[in-house]
C-alpha cells in the first residue's frame, strides 16, 4: 500500500504505510523470509526518502537493504543494481566521487554477471562514471564510458527519441569526438 500511495504522490500516507510494514516485519521471527521482507521495505522506504530529496535517510535505508541482499544472495540479485545505482546517484550529488565510482562499478559488475558479459549496464551509470573520470582528468576512462553508451545507441531512426536511459545521444557523440581529438593530440 505504501508504494501505491507513493506513486499517487501521497507521500505522507506512503511514509505511514511503510513504517507500519517495517514494524510488522520486525515482529516476525528472524529468518530469511523476514530479512527479505525487511530488505524490500527498506528499499521502498529509501525510494520514498529519495523522492523527498532526503538523501542521507535514503542512503541509510539503501545501506540496510544492501546488507540483507548481500547476505542472502551473495551479490547477485537484480535489486542490487537498483540499490547501487541510486547510491551512486546520491554520492555523486554529494561530490563523493570515490564512493560514486564504487557503487557504479558494482552496478556494472552485477548487470554483467547476471545477464551475461555482453549486456550493458544502464547508460546513466556510464554517464556518471564518465563525468567523474573527466573531472579526475582520466580521459581514457571517460572515453571508454562514453563509448559504452554509444554502443547502446540504436541505428538512427528519426521517428524515435534521441534519449536512451536519460542520456542524450547528441551529447554522447559530441563528447566522444572531443575526447578522441584531445587524446589524439596528447599522443
C-alpha cell at 14: 506512503
Phi, psi dihedrals of residue 167, rounded to the nearest 5°: -115, 130
- Is 68 within 8 Å of 38 (Cβ atoms)? yes
Phi, psi dihedrals of residue 137, rounded to the nearest 5°: 60, 30
Mean pLDDT (the chain) is 79
Query: What was the pLDDT predicted at 87?
Result: 95
Strand, coil or helix: 42: helix
Query: What was the pLDDT predicted at 186?
Result: 56
Greater pLDDT, 180 or 117: 180
Q: Which residue has the cell 508504494?
A: 3
Q: In the structure, what pLDDT confidence band is assigned to residue 119 with cuts at 50, 70 and 90?
A: low
User: Which helix or strand (DSSP H or E) is residue 168 part of?
Assistant: strand 167-168
Phi, psi dihedrals of residue 125, rounded to the nearest 5°: -70, -45
**Averaged pLDDT for residues 87-112:** 93
**Averaged pLDDT for residues 159-168:** 56
Q: What is the largest CA-CA distance in the chain?
A: 64
159 pLDDT exceeds 70? no
Per-residue pLDDT tens for 121-133? Answer: 778 888 899 999 9
Q: Distances in Å between the alpha carbon of 84 and those of 29, 68, 76, 87, 163?
A: 28, 13, 12, 5, 22
Query: What was the pLDDT predicted at 32?
Result: 66
C-alpha cell at 169: 545521444
Q: What do you get for the CA distance between the two ends of the chain, in Å?
A: 59
- Other Cβ atoms less than 10 A from the Cβ of 175: the count is 21
Per-residue exposure over 103-116, b if at least 16 CB sit within 10 Å of its own CB, e if not: bbebbbbbbeeeee
Amino acid at each position: 500500500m505504501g508504494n501505491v500511495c507513493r506513486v499517487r504522490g501521497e507521500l505522507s500516507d506512503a511514509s505511514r504505510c511503510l513504517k507500519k510494514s517495517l514494524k510488522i516485519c520486525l515482529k516476525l521471527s528472524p529468518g530469511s523470509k523476514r530479512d527479505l521482507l525487511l530488505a524490500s521495505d527498506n528499499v521502498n522506504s529509501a525510494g520514498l526518502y529519495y523522492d523527498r530529496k532526503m538523501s542521507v535517510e535514503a542512503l541509510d535505508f539503501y545501506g540496510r537493504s544492501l546488507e540483507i541482499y548481500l547476505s542472502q544472495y551473495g551479490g547477485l540479485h537484480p535489486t542490487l543494481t537498483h540499490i547501487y545505482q541510486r547510491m551512486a546517484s546520491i554520492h555523486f550529488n554529494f561530490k563523493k566521487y570515490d564512493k560514486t565510482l564504487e557503487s557504479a562499478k558494482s552496478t556494472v559488475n552485477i548487470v554483467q554477471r547476471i545477464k551475461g558479459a555482453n549486456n550493458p549496464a544502464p547508460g546513466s551509470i556510464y554517464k556518471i562514471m564518465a563525468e567523474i573520470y573527466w573531472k579526475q582528468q582520466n580521459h581514457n576512462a571517460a572515453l571508454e564510458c562514453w563509448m559504452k553508451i554509444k554502443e547502446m545507441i540504436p541505428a538512427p531512426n528519426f521517428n524515435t527519441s534521441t534519449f536512451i536511459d536519460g542520456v542524450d545521444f547528441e551529447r554522447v557523440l559530441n563528447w566522444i569526438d572531443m575526447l578522441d581529438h584531445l587524446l589524439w593530440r596528447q599522443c
